[in-house]
Structure formats: structure tokens, C-alpha cells
A and B are shown apart, each in its own frame.
Chain A
Amino acid sequence: MNAILKDRNSQIVRAGADTKTIACNKPSLAGAVSQRACVFCGSRVVLYPIADALHLIHGPIGCAAYTWDIRGAMSSGPEIHRMSFSTDLHEKDVVFGGEKKLEAALLELIDKYQPKAAFVYSTCIVGVIGDDIESICKKVQALKQIPVIPVHAPGFQGTKKDGYRAACEALEVLVGTGNRPAQEFSINILGDFNLAGELWILIDYYKRMGIHINATITGDGRVEDVANAHKAQLNVVQCSGSMMYLAKQMKEKYGIPFMKVSYFGIEDMSDALYEVATFFKSDDMLTKAKEIVRFEFARLMPELVKYKQALQGKKAAIYVGGSFKAISLIKALRLIGVQTVVVGSQTGTADEYEIIKQLCDEGTIIVDDSNPAELSAFVKETKADIFIGGVKERPIAYKIGLGFCDHNHERKEALAGYEGMLNFAKEIYATAMSPVWKFTK
């Protein structure tokens, strides 16, 4: 048995040792047990938090069943997004076409749930059987007077990343259709999904600085806010993998500049606040940002120092959705004394992998689109103590005696912002210091 397939070598590099650039943005190898999902998944996770929209999945039942209430994306109001709607295509629909069923489903669901818009996701077989989703959406939109937007997401038409783009394209249809008056110092928060209420933590910081939040896309999202997103002066983009496309399009169409930020870890969180203040060229904002940072830093550091003392010398492996988040995690771990020895992501970019290579200690393994066989071999080789990943990585870690922290979209603890850094440290501490590991050695 061999942990690494020959064709996967180009997607694995070692910091310090390798001069080659990592290959990424490739389809997964056939037969590999990739940790990635598909185009549909990418679009679904991005649009999911829009809470007052109907999300109808056009296809057989699986795609809808597996994404029912899938993320801990919280809403301060309506919760239509937590329902799973499917046209549940059967054999006869596959043979005779699913258009009628789609139309009937849309009409009944819009009547019942009164959403502000509807997203219609096409899944694998829809394209193959030739359903004309566009025209059904147009027809229903005219009838019901709400935006009915097709999301082109057949699973096989690319990778999860292409699904992000499909989601952004669907959002683009909405953006610019609202005509709320613009406000001063207003930003859109792009790419935070309000997992465990993280968005609300961030909004609080921005508000304390005197910034107006125009739209949050898509965490705690509302159709009307998305429609008015073009009224903001700045797009602040986190999770750049999923939202960069929208930010770039909005720059082109509406001239709205964007900046990339991360809200994980003290350093990156503080930078985000400073950069936004700097953008608005406001000394007052900058002063307030500094106050927030000073206050939070003073509050957090004594706690973090305690964790750092306990965790010093521990080694971590990171495998997350995007490489941008991985960068923040490496820094956040360093702050609490933990060295990163494996870093990987499902859909990272070459630039970010390069930053990771520079940032990490020599010998750190950097990997794109990995799988259980590789990951387990890497953590063994590097003697990692803790794994940071998602649900699919958890059993790999636990099974061979590593601690684990869920940093994926099913997390129930807020990990963003200063509060989040403290939670993160607590969680790493809890998993690393548990007495149970003595039985697994």
C-alpha cells in the first residue's frame, strides 16, 4: 500500500526543502478519497445562510437530504434556509423531464413560505435530462413577483470552487436591484457565514468604530441587503476562495473596492479593523480601532499566556476548506505556542500556498486536495499532536490518537474575532490536555 499516488506528487510540497510551486486548482483524481465535495456543494454552502430565501434543489433526493440544516449559520430573523426543499426527482421525471415538477414545487413553496427570493439549484442529472431551468425560473418570477434565480451547479461540472463561482453568479443577479439610499462609511461583509454567531461579533467591532454595515453576504443574509449591496463603499472579503469573484465583479460593475481580511487570530483580526479604518481615512475610526484592539488584547493576553505555557511544543496539522484561512490558523496557533507541521486545504490557491511555504518552519508539509491515506501518513511522519479540520477529518485524528478542533462549517463554537481566539485556544487546550490520551499511546 502506498499513501501517495504518483499523480498526486505535484500537489505536495515541503517548506524550506522544496523549491517547486505547488499544483492546485485541479480536479481530484479518480479513485482518490478526496475530502472535497462537488460543484453543487460549493454553491450550496455559500448561498445557504440567506435566511429569507427559498433554496430549492432540483434533482433526486440525496443532494437536498445531505445538505439539510448543514451549517451552523445563524439567522437573527427568518429561518427558511434551515429547511431542505427538493423536487425529489424519480425515474419517470428522469425519463419525461422534471420541468413540470419544478414549476409546481416552486409555486407551492413560494405560496407557503413567502420567501423574498428563490434559488433553484440544478444538480448532476438536470443538465443531462435537459430541463430548461432558466425558463421555468423566468416564468415563476413573473408570476410571483420575486427574484427566482437558477444556480448552475451540476456536481460534475468542475470542483467545489466552481460551485463558489456559481453562487457568486447567482448573487450577482440580485446585487444592484435594490434602491435603498446609500449611507456613509458603509461596508459589505463578504464571506462570513455567521457560524455560531461569529458575524455578530464582527459587526459589533465595526459598529464600535462607527462603520455602517450595508449587507452581510451571506451570513445572516437577507435578499434585500444583497439587492442593495452595490450601495456600500467597500467590500471586506473573508473566505476569499468563495467570495473573491463577487467582489471583483462588484468592483468592475459598481466601482466598489474590496480588501481581503481574516478574522481568525488576534493579529489578523486587528489588521482587518485597522485596514478598514485606513480605507476610510478616518483618524477617529483608527483611534477607535486601536482602543478595541488594546482593550481586547489586554483582556485576552493573560489568558492566552496560560494556554501558551501549557501548549508550548505541541504540533498541529491543519486541513481546511481554503488556504486563506489556513494562513490565519498558522499564526493563531503560533500565538499559543503550537507549531504547524502539516497544512492543507481542499481548494487553496497557488499564491496562498506560497505564503504558507514562507510562513511555516522548514519541513512543514503543504498539501492540496488531500485524502485520508495521505493525511494519516503525514501526521504520523510529523508526529502531530492536534488536528484542525472538519467532520471528515475528525475520525482520522481521533482514531490514531490526535486531539481535534473543528474549524469547519459545522462548528458550534465561535472562533472568529477576539472572543473566537480565546475559544480557539480553549478548544486546542482542552483537546491537547485531556487525560484520555494516556490510553492511546
Chain B
Amino acid sequence: MELAIKKTETFTSTRNACKLCSPLGASLVFKGIEGCIPMIHGSQGCATYIRRYMISHYKEPVDIASSNFSEETTIYGGNKNFCTGIDNVRHMYNPAVIGIASTCLSETIGEDIPRLIREYAQLHEGEQIPVFIHASTPSYQGSHMDGFHETVLSAVASLANEGATSKQINIFSGFISPADIRYIKEICDDFGVEYMVFPDYSDTLDNPHWKDYQLIPEGGTPVAQIQNAANAIASIEFGTIMNKLVSTSKSSVAHTAGEWLEKHHSVPNTRMPLPIGIEASDVFFKTLETISGIPTPRHHARERGRLVDAYVDGHKYVFGKRAIVFGEEDMVLSMVAFLHEIGIETVLAGSGGESNSLKKEIDALTSGLYPNMIVMNNLDFETINEMVDELKPDIFIGNSKGYYIARRLKKPIVRIGFPIHDRFGAQRLHHIGYRGTQELFDRIVNALIEYKQEHSPVGYKYI
């Protein structure tokens, strides 16, 4: 595949980005804290664009406040807007927590948000004020995933404190769907363990129908659980790719919440790729078994058994097919490993993420079996578009922004991850564990069957 790379011009500009900006990741994490309203310290547009983007995916109200910078604020500093903003948010939403994400603008003019928070707290001494969590998320640093990780780390580092020992297992589940989070909670409930999933936007971004408008939807990880994270018996962290180039605000040694808790509070951390596929899911279940001393409940063992059965039933539809996978780095990594497990060859794996470690991680997880696979960080969709013809893919797997490329090639696309703006039910898709893998496997097999059926001169009613 050397050829394909050589033929593609390199561009200084980003053309159809395969990433989003950092405050979006922060907003997602804040939506996963109970009683929390996110506030973006920057221009009005940042909050509105991020809201629109999330609303189109989750089909839920997503209220994100903005400190609404003006010309004056930018010159003289955002102190006044910050305080007025907090006052107004408190007045309207009465939140337990306010999550503040910075932006390229507030970072560039050198806003010291921790100081603004301290000053606000001093000003309101004696009052019951919300818990403040601050994440440093300038969009000129990394992608939305870096904002996501930074915010998880920030929340834990600022809230966790040592107290009585606890049986809590911390699960930092990364950027997965609300349905995935509900499934993790179900697994932990079935194991009968005490746990925290953080961030937990399984309710806040996938609410039931309401009679009355909920300004702050119920659900989210309780602050008490995040505080208790320091006393947990163990942490499990999904996602192994961290952008070490992005400096975090909390610690120069720890890049993730799990790492931080291990270093500062001696909570043992197990980091693993997103559990997609049987092998990766086994790692997750085994880890739960080891930590809890409880065997995998029969219900889940049977789900695994059915998945193996499905792999067998479907293996010929998928074997030898060529896939193009794109999206967030951790999602891409785990998808490639899963496809490897079922006999699909990934010919291009790409992400707008900037860790530069995607190739190394993929090689490690697939035992270096695909020397020809094109693996690219800092990738945009137009670069994929210009490479795909020669790669002769059978299927695309990624978010809906890659649809236009699949459409041009007239090949199927299985939509996973975020954003899914052109299909219904993104919040209910499963990706992880035996259940998620089953769902993905069914969707991939069916996409390939449908393609074969539609392109067959014979209108088979059975395939």
C-alpha cells in the first residue's frame, strides 16, 4: 500500500475534519455528572454549536450555558461575565455542580479560571454554592477526546478525597453510547459489586419522556461516588490511547483518572482497550472476576456463548472482506481488533486524533499481522476519500460523517460511535461487551448480505 500513500498529496489545511474540538468532550463528561450543568467560558457560538451537534446525535435537550464573551470581555478579561454567568446559571438551573470548560479564546487571553472560581467562592462565602469543576480545553490542543479525558481527570482530581475504605470499583468507561453505559451498570449489578461508572450520561443524554421539562435531567454519576473514587478497591479504564502531547491541567505524571488515583491514592488501575469483540470483552469480564472474586454471572456467560455461536453462523459472510475504519482512536483500535477476530481485514484505520500512537497500538493488538494496513493519525475525511479507490474496501465502519465517501463508492457503511446524524437511535446502539459485539456483528453481517443481495442478478429471498 506504499503506492496509495505516495499518490496522496499532503495538505497543510484540514479538509473535512475527522475530529471535533476539545470543549465538546468536556461537555459530554459534564453531562455525565449528577446535577451538573456545563458552562463554556468563551463565545456564545461554542456552546450553541456543541449543543446542536450533540442534540442531533442524542435527540435530547442539551443545555450548555455560555459566559458569552464580548469584545470588552476579551480585552479586559472575563471576570464579570464569569460571575454574572454563574449567577444566572444558579438562578435558572439551581445546579449541584457547574462544570466549566475553557475555550481557545479564554485560554489565549490567559483567563485563570481556577482563580475566577476561588474569587466567586470568596464573594459568596457562607452561601450554599455549587461544586465547581474546571477543565482546561482549548480547542487548539488535541481533539474532543482529549477534552473528554482531561475533564474526567479534572473531575476526579478535584473531587476525590480519602475517607473510609470502600468496596467501590471505579469504571472509567470512555466515550461510549448511553446504551453501553446502561449495559455496564447491568453487568456490575449482576456481579453484585459496588461500582461507579464515570461519566454516566446514560440517562441525561437518553431520557425517558417527560411530563414537565427538566432543566437538569435526572441521572449522572453522583458527586459522592467521584469523591469516593480515592477509596475504591480498583479502577478499570477503557481506552489505551492517550494524547501525551496534550498537557493536562492537573498532573504532569498522570494522564488519566485511573492513573491519577493509582499514583495519589494507591487505587490499582487496569487499563484496557474498549471491550469490543470476544477477546477484549473477556478481558473486561475476567478483570471484574478478579477484582470481585465472583464468577461471571450465567446470564452473561450465555450471552458470550450465543455470540460465539453467531460468529460461527456468520463467518463466511465476513471472511476476507476489506474494511475502512475511522473515528476516535480508541474506538478505531478496538474495532480493528474485533474485525481481526472475525476475519475482516482493515485496510485503512484512521483518526483525527493526534496521539501518533494508533499504529503502535494496532500492531500490538493484532500481533503485527497487517503490515500493509494504512494507519493514520491526524487524518481528515478528504485524505480518506482520496485513498479509498485503490484500497478496494467492501465496507466502511465509522461515524456518519464518512457516509459521503461510502456513497461515492456505493459501498455499505455501518455507523458506530459519534456523531451519528443520519440514522435513528444512535443513543441506543451497543458497541461493547458480548452484547455490543453481538449487535455490531449482526449489523456488519447484514450490511454485507444486503449488499450482496442488492447486487445479485438473482433476487434471492434466502442468503
Contacts and interface: CB of A to CB of B under 8 A. Distances in A.
A85 B12 contact: no
A110 to B, nearest CB: 11
Given A62-B24, A65-B20, A90-B140, A440 B46 contact: no
A37 B49 contact: yes
Interface in B47-70: 47-53, 55-56, 59-70
Given A65-B17, A155-B45, A395 B59 contact: yes
A91 B43 CA distance: 19
A30 B67 contact: yes
A1 B212 CA distance: 14
A32 B13 contact: no
B20 A2 contact: no
B347 to A, nearest CB: 24
B221 interface: no
Interface string B10-46: 0111111101111110000000000000010011111
Contacts of B64: 33
A227 B91 CA distance: 50
A125 B104 contact: yes
A128 B49 contact: no
Interface string B302-327: 00000000000000000000000000
B173 interface: no
Interface in A98-149: 101, 104-105, 108-109, 112, 123-125, 128-129
A399 B92 contact: no
B213 A63 contact: no
B374 to A, nearest CB: 21
A76 B48 CA distance: 30
A373 interface: yes
B65 A32 contact: yes
Interface stretch (A53-61, A213-221, A266-274, A281-289): A53-61
Nearest to B95: A1
Contacts of A62: 20-24, 46, 49, 104, 139
Contacts of A377: 213
Contact of A372 (B52, B80, B213): B213
Interface in B326-356: 352
Given A60-B104, A62-B23, A30 B51 contact: no
Nearest to A399: B210
B88 A29 contact: yes
B287 interface: no
Contact of A105 (B12, B23, B51, B104): B12
B140 A155 contact: no
Could you say which interface size class chain B belongs to? 35 or more
A62 B104 CA distance: 10
Given A86-B17, A90-B141, A124-B103, A399 B49 contact: no
Task: Give the one of B15, B21, B60, B209 with max A CB within 10 A.
Answer: B15
Interface string A34-59: 11111111000000000000001001
A1 B42 CA distance: 25
B56 A108 contact: no
Contact of B105 (A37, A85, A93, A125): A125
A294 interface: no
B86 interface: yes
A2 B23 CA distance: 27
A1 B94 CA distance: 6
B382 A68 contact: no
Interface string A377-418: 100100000000001101110111100000000000000000
Given A2-B92, A62-B20, 9 more contacts: A27-B70, A30-B85, A68-B17, A123-B104, A125-B108, A399-B207, A400-B211, A400-B212, A440-B209
30 contacts: A1-B93, A29-B84, A31-B39, A31-B65, A31-B85, A31-B88, A31-B92, A40-B43, A40-B45, A60-B139, A62-B24, A66-B53, A83-B16, A85-B15, A87-B13, A89-B140, A94-B140, A108-B12, A109-B13, A112-B11, A125-B140, A128-B109, A154-B43, A155-B45, A156-B42, A156-B43, A373-B93, A392-B48, A398-B59, A399-B60
